């Protein structure tokens, strides 16, 4: 932690550092964002924390003026071990809402004592503190930004009971949660919840939307580039619903609408939307590293804020990767639509993508693809359905190793899944035909080995470099054919 840099950012209220660190004020006992509008405390009276959970663990409570819960997400991969990054992903999916640190550590393949030590070393807070801060922040946002009843907020934030919800707020704020609601904005209709999700600009929203558009699963996903919206049917446990994300008018937030039959899965839904749009990324740091390459610098300048396109459903994107081997993007999209029609489920008039159990039982001979690829798809679904393969809980290297053991799945497919399913910022698809073409025509690199060697200077953000190179593929083609 560079205290000098953080102090300069605090004194100037630099928005680039919003969410990157938090300021604990010793004289008031609160922790703030570096952009807090209150009078700047004297330097001897502040402490710096790299996460909100660490500030809470040290005994500070969230500021009611700058609302730390509304800050952009902290980049989960930056400065952490692979185990901590994997643990954070599982906590974001609600692993500790009903489970224990012991069950979390078991999924990660380490002891609970070692996991606590890693979290304290890298985040300054134990896993339980991270989970509690996550629940508190989400509940506070719902109190401030919606008119949801308090009992529904408690359920949505993963507290399990209204009593636990009330006790936590009294312990942190020394008052009941209802007293923090100054007004009742919007509607209390649980059938349609609208929220703003913050991010760090710049954000090349149009490029991400276009990527999702050409790969949208027919009948399940819908993208309107003109209005800047992405929507799809969603499944969370036994609940089926619908979400929509739009660009919105706020240059630091995207708008989302969530329609679910209950509030139980709202926090997970928000986390997944953030994952799809890579909202926790720090583009200034990423672009700063990649911009040192003189060939990438003009691409970044022309389209700053590139994001890794994530996935709502890791299984769905894994299926997409398998069917997309050695076929065009359009061809893979057509096959995905056929799979959804044949094996998916329609609930309340909306088609939902098949669950692993459904595709695990299919006959490979019935699929519109080569037999070897169809068998790979069946085996992939079977391993996930049986719990033998967990797409979210593993690190990139172990995930790729497990995937390539399935006959018919090669390195390109495994790397694509690692990039989109778990958001690996350093995944690099050196064997991708489009990247190979761009490397040859733009970078003058004529072999996969040479491209891998060149990409070493882009670590640990090679996936973002790939996003920028993909973005100019169409322009190179237009130049060549014009």
Residue found by looking up tokens 């799979």 in the block = 339
| Length in residues, the chain | 482
Q: What is the DSSP letter of 450?
A: H
Question: CA separation (Å) from 7 to 34, 98, 407?
Answer: 9, 38, 54
Q: Which CATH superfamily is domain 314-421 in?
A: Hypothetical protein; domain 2 (1.10.340.30)
Q: Which tokens belong to 374?
A: 């169809």
Class of domain 3-52: alpha beta
**Residue 432 among the catalytic residues:** yes
Q: What is the DSSP letter of 122?
A: H
**CA-closest candidate to residue 403, choices 393, 392, 389:** 389
Given 18, 32, 36, 287, which residue is catalytic? 32
Residue found by looking up tokens 């003009």 in the block = 298
Task: Encode pLDDT of 38-87 as tens digits.
Answer: 999 999 999 999 899 999 999 999 999 999 999 998 765 555 678 888 89
pLDDT-based confidence at residue 109 (cuts at 50, 70, 90):
confident
The pLDDT of residue 478 is above 50: no
pLDDT-based confidence at residue 473 (cuts at 50, 70, 90):
confident
Rounded CA-CA distance 363/384 in Å is 17
Residue found by looking up tokens 């134990």 in the block = 126
pLDDT-based confidence at residue 189 (cuts at 50, 70, 90):
low
Rounded CA-CA distance 209/213 in Å is 6
Rounded CA-CA distance 314/417 in Å is 8
CATH of domain 193-302: 3.30.310.20
Given 282, 313, 424, 432, which residue is catalytic? 432
The confidence score (pLDDT) of residue 179 equals 94
Phi, psi of 244 (to 5 degrees): -145, 135
Q: Which tokens belong to 327?
A: 């076929």
Under 8 Å CB-to-CB from 232, ≥6 apart: which residues?
A: 216, 217, 220, 221, 222, 242, 243, 312
Count of beta carbons in the 10 Å neighbourhood of residue 96 = 21
108 within 8 A of 86, measured Cβ to Cβ: yes
409 within 8 A of 376, measured Cβ to Cβ: yes
Q: Is 260 helix (H, G, I), strand (E, B) or coil?
A: coil
Helix ranges restricted to H, 30-149: 52-57, 82-92, 95-98, 101-108, 112-123, 127-145
Rounded CA-CA distance 316/301 in Å is 33
pLDDT-based confidence at residue 481 (cuts at 50, 70, 90):
very low
Average pLDDT over residues 463-476: 87
The pLDDT of residue 463 is above 70: yes
Helix (H) / strand (E) element for 239: namely strand 239-246
46 within 8 A of 26, measured Cβ to Cβ: yes
Phi, psi of 106 (to 5 degrees): -65, -45
The pLDDT of residue 99 is above 90: no
Query: What percent of the chain has pLDDT above 70?
Result: 94
**Residue 36 among the catalytic residues:** no
Q: Which CATH superfamily is domain 82-180 in?
A: Homeodomain-like (1.10.10.60)
CA angle centred on 136, ends 58 and 81, rounded to 5°: 60
Average pLDDT over residues 304-330: 94
The confidence score (pLDDT) of residue 393 equals 78
Q: What is the largest CA-CA distance in the chain?
A: 71
Same fold, 82-180 and 314-421: no
Average pLDDT over residues 308-333: 94
The confidence score (pLDDT) of residue 2 equals 64
Average pLDDT, the chain: 91
Pairing between strand 193-198 and 253-259? antiparallel
**Structure pTM?**
0.91
Strand partners for 241:
234
The confidence score (pLDDT) of residue 80 equals 62
The confidence score (pLDDT) of residue 192 equals 80
- So where are the chain's domains? 3-52, 82-180, 193-302, 314-421, 433-481
Under 8 Å CB-to-CB from 167, ≥6 apart: which residues?
A: none
**CA-closest candidate to residue 445, choices 122, 453, 130:** 453
Q: What is the DSSP letter of 311?
A: -
Under 8 Å CB-to-CB from 180, ≥6 apart: which residues?
A: 64, 140, 143, 144, 169, 173
Dihedral angle at the C-alpha atoms of 160, 67, 128, 267, nearest 10 degrees?
Answer: 40
82 within 8 A of 393, measured Cβ to Cβ: no
Task: Encode pLDDT of 343-394 as tens digits.
Answer: 999 999 999 999 999 999 999 998 888 999 999 999 999 999 999 999 987 8
Strand partners for 41:
none
Task: Encode pLDDT of 193-245 as tens digits.
Answer: 999 999 999 999 999 999 999 999 999 999 998 889 999 999 998 899 999 99
**CA-closest candidate to residue 286, choices 199, 225, 348:** 199
Pairing between strand 61-62 and 30-32? parallel
The confidence score (pLDDT) of residue 76 equals 56
252 within 8 A of 201, measured Cβ to Cβ: yes
The confidence score (pLDDT) of residue 284 equals 87
Count of beta carbons in the 10 Å neighbourhood of residue 372 = 13
């Amino acid at each position: 932690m560079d205290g000098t840099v953080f102090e300069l950012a605090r004194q100037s209220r630099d928005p680039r550092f919003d969410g990157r660190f938090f300021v604990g004020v010793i004289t008031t006992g609160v922790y703030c964002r570096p952009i807090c509008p209150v009078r700047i405390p004297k330097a001897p009276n502040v402490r710096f924390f790299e996460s909100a959970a660490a500030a809470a663990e040290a005994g500070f409570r969230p500021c009611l003026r700058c609302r730390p819960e509304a800050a952009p997400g902290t980049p989960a991969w930056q400065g952490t071990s692979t185990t901590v990054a994997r643990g954070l992903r599982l906590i974001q999916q609600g692993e500790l809402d009903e489970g224990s640190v012991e069950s979390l550590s078991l999924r990660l393949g380490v002891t609970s004592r070692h996991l606590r030590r890693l979290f304290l070393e890298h985040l300054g807070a134990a896993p339980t503190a991270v989970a509690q801060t996550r629940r508190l922040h989400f509940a506070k946002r719902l109190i401030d930004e919606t008119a949801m009843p308090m009992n529904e907020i408690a359920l949505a934030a993963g507290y399990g009971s209204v009593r636990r919800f009330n006790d936590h707020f009294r312990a942190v704020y020394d008052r009941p949660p209802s007293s923090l609601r100054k007004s009742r904005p919007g509607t209390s209709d649980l059938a349609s919840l609208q929220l703003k999700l913050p991010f760090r600009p710049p954000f090349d929203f149009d490029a991400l939307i276009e990527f999702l558009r050409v790969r949208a699963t027919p009948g399940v996903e819908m993208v309107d580039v003109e209005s800047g919206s992405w929507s799809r049917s969603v499944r969370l446990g036994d609940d089926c619903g619908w979400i929509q994300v739009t660009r919105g008018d706020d240059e630091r937030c995207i708008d989302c609408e969530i329609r679910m039959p209950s509030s139980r899965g709202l926090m997970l839904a928000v986390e997944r939307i953030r994952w799809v749009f890579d909202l926790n990324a720090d583009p200034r740091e990423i672009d700063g590293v990649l911009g040192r390459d003189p060939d990438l610098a003009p691409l970044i300048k022309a389209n700053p804020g590139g994001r890794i396109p994530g996935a709502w459903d890791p299984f769905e994107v894994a299926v997409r990767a398998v069917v997309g081997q050695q076929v065009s993007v359009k061809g893979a999209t057509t096959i995905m639509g056929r799979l959804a029609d044949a094996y998916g489920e329609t609930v309340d008039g909306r088609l939902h993508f098949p669950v692993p159990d459904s595709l695990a039982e299919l006959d490979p001979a019935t699929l519109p693809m080569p037999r070897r690829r169809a068998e790979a798809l069946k085996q992939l679904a079977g391993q996930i359905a049986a719990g033998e393969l967990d797409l979210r809980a593993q690190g990139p290297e172990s995930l790729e190793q497990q995937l390539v053991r399935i006959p018919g799945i090669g390195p390109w497919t495994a790397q694509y899944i690692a990039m989109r399913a778990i958001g690996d910022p350093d995944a690099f698809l050196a064997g991708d035909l489009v990247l190979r073409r761009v490397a040859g025509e733009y970078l003058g690199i004529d072999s996969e080995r040479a491209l891998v060697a060149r990409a070493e200077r882009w670590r640990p953000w090679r996936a973002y470099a790939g996003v920028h190179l993909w973005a100019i593929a169409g322009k190179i083609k237009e130049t060549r054919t014009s």
